[in-house]
């Protein structure tokens, strides 16, 4: 089937594109290459270098007539969203609405919107958080992701366009850039492989739910086979603090880098972990890659890449 993927040159989107192509689908990528990379583009996918903020993206999607529209393009830097909330909203809200308009006009059969299982919930009241947990985002990025879900809900109600909103936990893996929500893995990997000291913010007891990109790809494949059911958490349900993450990465890299503690980041979420029972029930999806193994694969990728540079 024909699938249009926005953000298909990015870290996660490019892995999703590769899997869709490998499964025999016809894939069209829309990406402005702002953070995505040309080298990530799958040569078997058709590519449009377009900004989703550009109103012409509506006609582009309409004319491509994809059966599925998968929306990975986003401004995904939480700190940038705080510094420039207008830019964040232009990409993550206006850009998203334009893509949904395109999907509607194309008579797409379903939309897979990528939301956030960290920033959209905000400081959690229950651990792990199920999809029914209150959403109290404390960054413009979290607000724009939640708004995206509500727009997708509107398109379903008004135009019977079914959707998934995949609420990703902190995704890590090969091709990750050090700028992202889970950028800490990429930052640590680079420093450890160079033997430089790494800095842990504050006491390092802040926790996240780290999910390997290969597992996230499997969730995107599963969305093609199952009935769309709105918001679905895609994580592991396992809470890991930064101290433990650093320890596991030192083991994975065999590095002797020194671990230092710097000042705590103001406003940083303290604990984040999501319940993935719904994904198991509705998508038949479960994470399969344990953190130590995923980190080993990620560090290996960074090592190979450093060797080529």
Strand-pairing partners, residue 4, are 28, 69
- Contact call for residue 34 and ligand NAD (CB under 6 A): yes
Q: Which of residues 253-292 bind ligand NAD (CB under 6 A)?
A: none
Say whether 141 is catalytic: yes
Q: Which of 121, 68, 79 is nearest to 233 (CA)?
A: 121
- Contact call for residue 56 and ligand NAD (CB under 6 A): no
Which sign does the torsion angle of CA 64, 229, 272, 239 carry?
negative
- Contact call for residue 95 and ligand NAD (CB under 6 A): yes
Can you tell me which residue has the tokens 């998934």? 164
Structure tokens at 33: 């290459």
Q: What is the largest CA-CA distance in the chain?
A: 57
- CB contact at 8 A, 52 and 32: yes
Tell me the CB-side half-sphere exposure of residue 136, using CA atoms within 13 A.
10
Can you tell me which residue has the tokens 């895609």? 234
Residue 14: count of CB within 10 angstroms of its CB: 26
- Contact call for residue 102 and ligand NAD (CB under 6 A): no
Which is closer to ligand NAD, CB of 92 or CB of 261? 92
With CB under 6 A as the contact rule, the residue among 91, 98, 253, 269 that binds ligand NAD is 91
Window contacting ligand NAD (CB under 6 A); options: 71-79, 104-112, 251-259, 270-278:
71-79
- Contact call for residue 12 and ligand NAD (CB under 6 A): yes
- Contact call for residue 35 and ligand NAD (CB under 6 A): yes
- Contact call for residue 13 and ligand NAD (CB under 6 A): yes
With CB under 6 A as the contact rule, the residue among 16, 41, 52, 222 that binds ligand NAD is 52
- Contact call for residue 10 and ligand NAD (CB under 6 A): yes
Q: Which of 278, 180, 202 is nearest to 237 (CA)?
A: 278
- Contact call for residue 216 and ligand NAD (CB under 6 A): no
Which is closer to ligand NAD, CB of 24 or CB of 212? 212
**154 contact partners, CB below 8 Å, separation of at least 6:** none
- CB contact at 8 A, 210 and 236: yes
With CB under 6 A as the contact rule, the residue among 73, 147, 192, 198 that binds ligand NAD is 73
Residues that bind ligand NAD (CB under 6 A): 6-7, 9-13, 31-36, 51-53, 72-76, 91, 95, 114, 116, 168, 170-171, 177, 180-182
Positions marked active-site: 141
């Amino acid at each position: 089937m024909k699938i249009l993927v926005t953000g298909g040159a990015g870290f996660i989107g490019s892995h999703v594109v590769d899997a869709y192509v490998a499964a025999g689908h016809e894939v069209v990528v829309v990406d402005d290459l702002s953070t995505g990379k040309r080298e990530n583009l799958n040569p078997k996918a058709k590519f449009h270098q377009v900004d989703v903020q550009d109103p012409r993206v509506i006609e582009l999607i309409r004319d491509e007539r994809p059966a599925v529209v998968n929306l990975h393009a986003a401004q995904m830097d939480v700190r940038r969203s705080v510094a420039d909330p207008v830019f964040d909203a232009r990409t993550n809200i206006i850009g998203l609405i334009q893509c949904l308009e395109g999907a509607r006009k194309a008579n797409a059969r379903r939309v897979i919107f990528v939301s956030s299982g960290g920033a959209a919930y905000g400081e959690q009241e229950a651990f792990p958080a199920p999809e029914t947990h209150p959403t109290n985002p404390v960054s413009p990025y979290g607000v724009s992701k939640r708004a995206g879900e509500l727009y997708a809900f509107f398109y379903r109600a008004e135009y019977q366009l079914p959707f998934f909103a995949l609420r990703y936990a902190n995704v890590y893996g090969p091709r990750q850039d050090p700028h992202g929500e889970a950028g800490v893995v990429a930052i640590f990997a680079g420093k450890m492989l160079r033997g430089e000291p790494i800095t842990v913010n504050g006491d390092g007891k802040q926790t996240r739910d780290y999910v390997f990109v290969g597992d996230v790809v499997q969730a995107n494949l599963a969305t093609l086979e199952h009935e769309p059911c709105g918001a679905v958490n895609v994580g592991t349900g396992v809470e890991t603090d930064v101290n433990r993450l650093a320890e596991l990465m030192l083991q994975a890299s065999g590095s002797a880098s020194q671990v230092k503690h710097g000042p705590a980041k103001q406003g940083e979420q303290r604990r984040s972990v999501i319940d993935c029972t719904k994904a198991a029930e509705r998508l038949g999806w479960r994470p399969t890659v344990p953190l130590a193994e995923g980190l080993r694969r990620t560090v290996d990728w960074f090592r190979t890449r450093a060797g080529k540079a």
